Structures are given as structure tokens and as C-alpha cells.
A and B are shown apart, each in its own frame.
Chain A
Amino acid sequence: MDARVAPLLEIKGLKTYFNTDEGQVQAVDGVDISIGSGETLCVVGESGSGKTVTAMSVLKLIAMPPGRIAGGQILWRGRDLVPLGSSEMNKIRASEIAIVFQEPMTSLNPVYTVGDQIAEVIRLHQGLSKKAAMDRAAEMLALVQIPNPKARVNDYPHHFSGGMRQRVMIAMALSCNPKLLIADEPTTALDVTIQAQILDLLLDMKERLGMSIMLITHAMGVVAEVAQRVVVMYAGRVAEEAPVDRLFANPRHPYTQGLIRSIPRIDLAAVKKSRLESIPGSVPKLVNPPEGCRFASRCRFAIPDCRIAQPPLREIEPGHKVACIRAEETLL
């Protein structure tokens, strides 16, 4: 990685396991991710690839039990979060690392006004008076471009539409000026025009507040639009990591190539009448994951060697890392 600037967040060899009746689910199994100051990092992968579990592990929001962080470090500005107790984590949550979830419709408490809820977070972390916190809540609503914020603080969540609620959630998450915002599929539940607005808003907030964003998504279109660097996850591991333009120009992991090929292209579809490509098969069960490369069963480049040992994440060019032993031979 870049040795000159210490990253803001550095996840090293994170392993998050869940104990279930069927056995131990290795939801995240040795993930390395780092985010620099002011960076926008996208984490992509299909459902079940461990994106959300990674994000929840950073804030230690995993239900324990059945979950546990079985290994690795989560270094936040050089300090390991893994051994911290819940009261210390509560100080970091929102004031240093904040998270926005996928479901804006149900992420607000129906019995309080949105102003109350934003003010609660502010008072919790900054100890402002009720009045000052409410004023700040109105400022935050204005910042996320909710019209008429002074009146809207007194509205209840059911007075807001889905996109508006997501704006409120973002206002709430940003109310204590966190250094890092983790956005876990923030636009998945919204319709397309609103999606674009929310993404614009996130990037705008990032510029204004000078924070970093870790955006979790499964939409490659979103990645192309907002990311600076991309981490592709598959079955609880990092498959490929690269700057966004390199990743789209020169994807080297067969899984990344599959993801990019499966983006619907309205321009090509009209001309060639070609069918949309998909990756055959599905994510393997993570109870007893296969030996070796977890993608091998779905990979058209797989050779017997792939199934013997887990391929290491190796840097094939500066800033471009791939976990594939045949990365040099997978050119499209």
C-alpha cells in the first residue's frame, strides 16, 4: 500500500465468523482493506460476499453471539478497534465513523420527530443543550438539501418519502462530523432518479466535510460513477483491488470480469441484440468453503492448482492487487 501516508482505516486479515446449527459460517475470512483520508472506496460483490459483514465488523455491530471476530485487526488511525468494549465503541460511532443503512423506510424511529432523532445523536456525542442540538439538526437538514428545514425538524418520519428519509439518515450520520462514512447500499431501496441524487449528495458532503466514504454496493454502475478505488469481494475474501479506471479498463480477476460483463448496456443491447451475460452458479456456502480459490467452481480459467491453496492477494501493478494465480493469463 502507500507507505507515505498512514491510512485512516486499515483492516488487516479480518475474520468474522458466525456459529450456526450447520456449523461455522466464515462470512469474512481474511480481508484486507484500507481507506485513506478523503478517499472514496467502493466495496462491490454480489449478495453474500461479506461486504456488509465487513462494514458491520468495523463498527462492531455484529451480533455476538452468534457472530465473533475470529482474527485480524481493525486499525482506526492506528488504534485497534477489535478489543474495545461497547462504551468505547459508542464514543467512536457517529462521532468518528458513521454508517448509513440500506433501508431508509424503516431506519427512523416512528415515534419521534426527525429533529428529535438527529438532536439525540448530537447531544449524545457533543453534549449540546436541547435547543442548540435542535438548531444544529435543522442545519443538518438544510445541508442535505431538505427544503424548509426549520419546519421539517418537527415532522415525523412518516411525513417523508424514501429518498427524503435517506437524506435524513445521512444528516443524522453526518451530524457529528465523522471522519469516515460507511454507506451500506444506501441507494438500493430507492428508485433510479433518487439514487443519483443521493449519490451526488454523498459526494458533495464528502467534499464539504472532508471525510472519507466507504460505499458498499453491488451495482457496478454506481461504482463507475463515484469510486476512486474499488475493492471487489467474493465469498468473504478480497478478489481484486484497483483504482476505478484501471479496474474497468483492465480487470484481471475472472470474477471482476464477470461482474463487468454482466452490466446491462442499453447501447449494445439495441445494436447487437445480445443476451446479458451472467456468471454461472452462485456464491458457495461459507459453512465449509471449498479449499483453494472460492471462485474456482464458477471460473472458466480454473485449473487443478486453483483448488489446492487459497491464492494470495498479490500486487501485479502498483495499486492493483489480484487474488488469482492466473492473473497474467486472464486478459479479456
Chain B
Amino acid sequence: MAGLTHASPSVETALAPASKKRRFSPGRDAIRRFLRHRLAAVSIVVLALLALAIVVGPWIWRVPINEIDFTARLAAPSWDHPFGTDDLGQDLLARMIYGGRISLAVGFAAMAVGLFVGVVIGAIAGNSKGPVDAALMWLTDLFLSLPQLPLLLLVIYLFRDLLKGLVGPEGGTFVLIVLVIGGFRWMPVARLVRAQFLSLREKEFVEAARALGASNFRLVARHILPNALGPVIVAGTIDVAAAIIAESTLSFLGLGFPPDIPTWGRLLFDAKDYLDIAPHWALFAGGAIFLTVIAINFIGDGLRDALDPRKVM
């Protein structure tokens, strides 16, 4: 048959001259596009190094976080204390490593909570018409219009002791902070997912799948949701950064973790009184937050480019 040539033969011969098996999936295309974004590629290395340092740090730098040494109060960085010490002579490198674990864990966990709630609410709203959709969007608007910081403070004030009793001081605060930050960050995701659903459910491939006997649940789970995830992943990365900032804010205001547990925000809060005599204390904590957040934002930027199928590079 003369007309039955391979579709787009030029592309395939150009990309896969020798090997027959090298076919480009959307996933691999996306990775290629992501790596073209220089800052994003650098950022992912930076974030990976930060994460690595935080995870394996305690095994290499074996100084305890709460070893008080009054002979070395507010010491500048030295070989004994690479990041210097705080007002109690505690080693800042150890505290930074420990605090980074909490800050990053809070960031990712809060992002997961926010994404989960947002995707569920957005999907239900986008998939149902009429009153359900209207009520859920009304709820979303309500949450968006709440003054968040005072409310965060109130919720934490009210529930901190309850959760501390249930899962211990550190775990309790962690759960509470994650839930509270995530619980106030799902609204943009919900709107995004709803908008995606509204446009995707009218697409022909959804209609075609329905015509071939797919149930409503299958349509949503297999055909609509995977197509809606690109923008959600991008929003999720930005949410990690925002959650880290929010946790730092709460800690800075003294409402995060207990004072003896270092987080990056807490370190910054404690350092503020000694800015003139021991600036290194604030600089390292602030620098770590800055570096993490800006890296995550660049990664989000790169992902947006990578996951936008209209972008051909």
C-alpha cells in the first residue's frame, strides 16, 4: 500500500538512526526540556546536595545539637565550629543540619497535604456540575479570603497541647504545623484542578473513552487526572517553598516547634537579638532558607517549561 508510510518518518530517523527501541515517551521529552532550563538544572543539583547534607550530615558531623559550651559563646566560624556557635555555645552546623531536616520535611509534607486536599476538592468540583461545584468553589473562596497568619496562630494556640498529648511534643507540633500550613495552601491547587477538569472533560478522548465503555470513575482516574497533573506538579513545587517560608515564619514568631528544637526559622528567630555581634548565626540560617526556596522556585519554573506540551524545544 503506497499511502501507508510510517508516520513522521523524518523525526524518527533523525532521532533514532541505529537503534529501533529508542522511542521518546512524553516523560523523557519532559526531562530533556527540563534540563535545557539551566537554572532549573543547577537548582536541582543544589537541592539534591542540600538534601544529601541534611540526610547524611549527622553521621559525618557527630556533634550533638544541644551540647552547651559557655567557653565558646557566639564564636565565629572556625575549624571546631564551621558555622560558629550560638549564645549557649551550641554548634550551629549540627543545629542547621537538624533544622534542615525539619524544615524540608515540613515543606514537602505540607505540600503533599495541600496537593491532596486541592486535587480532591478540585476534581470533585470540576467533575460535578451545579450546586456541588458552586458550594466547593464557595468554600475555596472562603478559605482564600481568611486572614491566614492570625488564623494559623489561633489554630496552633488552640490545638497544640491536644496534639502534644497524643503524639509527643515534637511529633505533635510537626503534624499540627503540616496540617495547618497544608490546610491553608490547597485553594490555588483546587482552582487549578477544577479549571483543568472543566476543559479536559470536554475533550474528544474523554468522550471516546466513554463511548468505549469506561465508567465515570475510570474516566476521571485514568483519562482526566493524568492530563491535569502538569500544572499541579508546578504548583506543588512552589508550595514546598511557601510552606518552608510559612514554617520559618511560625517558628520566627515563636509558635512553631518547641524552643529547644532547632528549625531554620527558629534559628533565625533566636539570632535576631545578636545580629550586631554574631551575624553569622542569622546569615547561615537565612541563607539556607533563601537557597532552598530559590532552588525550588527555579525547579518549578523548569518543570512548567518541561510539562507544557506546546513548548517545542
Contact = CB atoms under 8 A, between A and B. Distances in A.
Interface string A82-123: 000011011111110011010100111111110000001100
A110 B26 contact: yes
Q: Which of under 10, 10 to 19, 20 to 34, or 35 or more describes the interface residues of B?
A: 20 to 34
Residue of B6, B212, B215, B223 ringed by the most chain A CB atoms within 10 A: B212
Contacts of A274: none
Interface string A160-192: 110110000100110000000000000000000
A106 B211 contact: no
Contact of B208 (A112, A146, A161, A169): A169
B272 interface: no
B147 interface: no
B7 A101 contact: no
A156 interface: yes
Residue of A87, A113, A120, A172 ringed by the most chain B CB atoms within 10 A: A120
A3 to B, nearest CB: 32
A182 to B, nearest CB: 9
Given A93-B211, A106-B204, 4 more contacts: A94-B212, A147-B4, A154-B23, A160-B7
Contacts of B4: 145-147, 197
Interface of B: 1, 3-8, 12, 20, 23, 25-26, 203-205, 207-216, 218, 222-223, 226-227, 309
Residue of B203, B205, B207, B214 ringed by the most chain A CB atoms within 10 A: B205
B3 A197 contact: yes
Contacts of A130: none
A86 B207 contact: no
A59 interface: yes
Contacts of A108: 205, 208
A111 B226 contact: yes
A109 B209 contact: yes
Contacts of B8: 159, 161
Contact of B227 (A110, A146, A154, A156): A110
A61 B26 contact: no
A103 B204 CA distance: 7
Interface residues of A, number: 46
A163 B5 CA distance: 11
Nearest to A91: B213
Contacts of B213: 89-95, 121, 124-125
A194 interface: yes
A9 to B, nearest CB: 16
A99 B4 CA distance: 23
A109 B220 CA distance: 12
A222 to B, nearest CB: 18
B212 A101 contact: no
Given A87-B215, A110-B309, A147 B26 contact: no
Contacts of A92: 213
Contact of A99 (B5, B23, B211, B223): B211
B207 A61 contact: yes
Nearest to B20: A151
A156 B1 contact: no
A111 B26 contact: yes
Contacts of B210: 61, 93
A110 B3 CA distance: 25
B220 to A, nearest CB: 13
Contacts of B20: 151
The 6 closest A-B CB pairs, nearest first, are A93-B213, A94-B212, A161-B7, A106-B204, A107-B204, A90-B213
Nearest to A98: B212
Contacts of A194: 3
Contacts of B7: 159-161, 164
B227 A90 contact: no
Contacts of B6: 147-148
